[in-house]
Chains A and B, each alone.
Chain A
Amino acid sequence: MSETGKNTQMMLGNAAIARGAWEAGVKVVSSYPGTPSTEISEEVVKYDEVYAEWAPNEKVASEVAIGAAISGVRAMTCMKMVGLNVASDPLYSISYAGVNGGLVFVVADDPGLYSSQNEQDTRRVARAAVVPCIEPSDSQEAKEFVRLAYEVSEQFDRPVIYRTTTRLAHSQCDVELCDRVEPEDRPYERNIQKNVMMPAMAQKRHIVVEQKMNELAEWANDCPLNRVEPGTMVLNGKKIGFITGGIPYQYVKEACPDAAVLKLGMCNPLPRRLIEDFAKTVDELYIFEELEPVIEEQVRAWGIPCIGKDRFTIQGEYSANMLREKVLGQDLHLKAAAQVPPRPPILCPGCPHRATFSVISKLRLHAAGDIGCYTLGALAPLNAVDTTICMGSSISSLHGMEKAKGHDYVKNWVAVIGDSTFMHTGINSLINMFYNQSHATVVILDNRTTGMTGHQDHPATGKTLKGEIVPAVNFPQLIRGIGIENVQEVDAFDVEKLTKVLKEETQKDELSVIIAVAPCALLKGQTHPYKVEPVPEKCVKCGACLRIGCPALTKAEDGSIMIDRTMCNGCGLCMSQCRFSALERVKA
């Protein structure tokens, strides 16, 4: 309890969204993990009144939430922005059908690309799919706006996109806690005019959708999501004002606390009257929004002069320093950053992917890669992965290469895909390979978890988001069920066997699937009871052990090998690279 007697708690933006969902009476949540959205589902499952699950992908997750909403309860689905691409098919159609119980898509953008493959702006998708887009700017709002999102969803019969960014999702501040208010389930009534999107129905629904959005745009002029904060700041004789929202709002308050601000908590649809009235109160209007000029384009289209992307970048995260320099014209006399070696993320010590990549690299195979920790296999010294596009694309793009260049060409290639990514969309690509007579080789890097996002379960781990033990999808059985006979499992750390199997399978004139299994080194119970130590008298300083890129190994000035005991996990992969027995296991 704080001094004011309110019940408050420090919360991550993501935990606050989960709390908001619980308070708003949400009953069903279905998601697929993706940084920076993952913790929402992990937090919401802790509330007993909410059913929450991991689905195999975002399309499935969205459809689960859609079904729950059609049945009459409040439902949510959470994903990162590229996940919404996978879920865009259901999104665009549920936009026409509308909702029964409220429906919210929480979508996390990643300005600055902390852990993503592109910098796309979900607000654009909201406009394209004609759905409202709500955006909080700290953890308190992150909780509060969820309730408002459900009110908008039900009042205007719209699914709602709830947009966050990495900085919002992973920042903490005090949040005032409230009780759960569970609305009564709405009755379900069969209504094919609303819930069956055949052309004749969809034509009529399109009219309704536009009408509802117009009503919402009018409501937005006086709604609790948008607010004007009057200001007095004058710059070069001109009164300045900002239209902003989300985390950039905080930078405005930091650098220009006295400026007039129109803070938009809903960036689609935009409140025309509110914006026009605000613009009249200032002499110079800045639109301060990260990524795309979504607000700016609309403001300009209404004939309101403003400063936006002509002054502020379209890439990366914003800052208060950006405003100090580009609006206030200050010279900050910042010191230059020191020129130091970069420290990119790497595969952890004991990572089974390193073992598989060491073999792929040694056999000089090209690998069509996928999304996960193993994307890091593209970097030196492993240099194993050639391509990474999107979830599931390793398998299908390798198939495309074979059809383009003939099947001898792909004898020098494999597709590599993680277990969770294989469940996500890789399975469809493999069915296509089988159907269209591929001869290529697919390697499933099965580390028994969704690693990169922080160890989430999936259909093949045998455990649910709630921690219940359930039957696991069996990969060899699943793949044989498709009709692919050439399937084998190999221990990822059995370098000798993996080398033999990879050599044989890539040369075969038929489709092969190799499952390289070993649990992620960070999973519980995966630390070996020993460490590896160099045997200096046997070491010829050839450096072969360094080529696997294990961060526990370093080369001393004289070329000898040192192993950091605090990092070594005892996996022994380095030993398999040494022909001189100059590395040995000792008890930890």
Chain B
Amino acid sequence: MGSAVEVENLSKTYVTYKRKGLFRREPTTVTAVDDVSLTIEAGEICGVLGPNGAGKSTTIKMLCGALIPTSGTVRVLGYEPFRERRRYVREIGAVFGQKSQLVWDIPPVDSFLMNKAIYGVPDVQYRETLDELVSLLDVADKIEVPTRVLSLGERMKCEFIMAMLHRPQVVFLDEPTIGLDTIAKAGIREFVRGMQQRGTTFLLTTHDLEDVERLAEHVVIIGGGTKVFDGSLQDLKRSLGETKIVELTLAHPASDADLEGLSVVGRRSDLELTIEVDMALMGPAELFATLSRSLEITDISIRELPMERVITEIYTSSRR
């Protein structure tokens, strides 16, 4: 499959004003996105991560054709979004976790009918797609009640239906699981994964690293408007070397002398320690031997660095 999304040297600046006294204000140019390039293959789920204000949402809005880039090029499915907006948006869908497409006071099914009319979806296709999406998301009994009485999770599922009724090839998800409980998140993730297996391409921005770990093969990290990482999830985890987190439970409290040479990063109690080990420098056998020499260990677990930590490290090192 070819590329679904191609972005080259994309930038967006805008002018804002700083107050200088009661009547005076000074224009300030803010660079929200700075020279970002990325490619997303068709049928892929790409996770875009970054702290608040990193430029993720601005990027997604430019990819949707809602904002005009200051410079750079965007091509999605061969379209230039902001130049061919009306033809282009027929091929894409979008779910904004904090902005609703549903009409608040009426049942979601009426909002779906509005989209059916606007997109010109034929009756048969509408019926088939709606039945399929409703079944996948398990909201058959929810689409006939007013949107305002739905839970956040139910509403988000209906937002997905709204965004996908016209069978878009590419779907942009801007923090789709924000505020959802674990069960609702799992339902949404399962749905996204299922739609991807049917060929839909997703671009997902999120703060929830679990979304990325469970869904995305391709990860892009944006910080301060610039791209600081672009690669696979495995590449991302490998980018900090072979550092692992080792959780230790001890039979007796350890003295400072016992811990010499170890990188202790957490201490929940006198008997529970967390250390960091670079496995490239010290293999498992050597690690156990080193630990056993000075400590009496009753339990041990080794795990990957948390994603949050990996991202913080990459983001921080890019800012230096």
The answer to whether A and B come from one shared complex is no
Interface residues of B (CB under 8 A from A): none
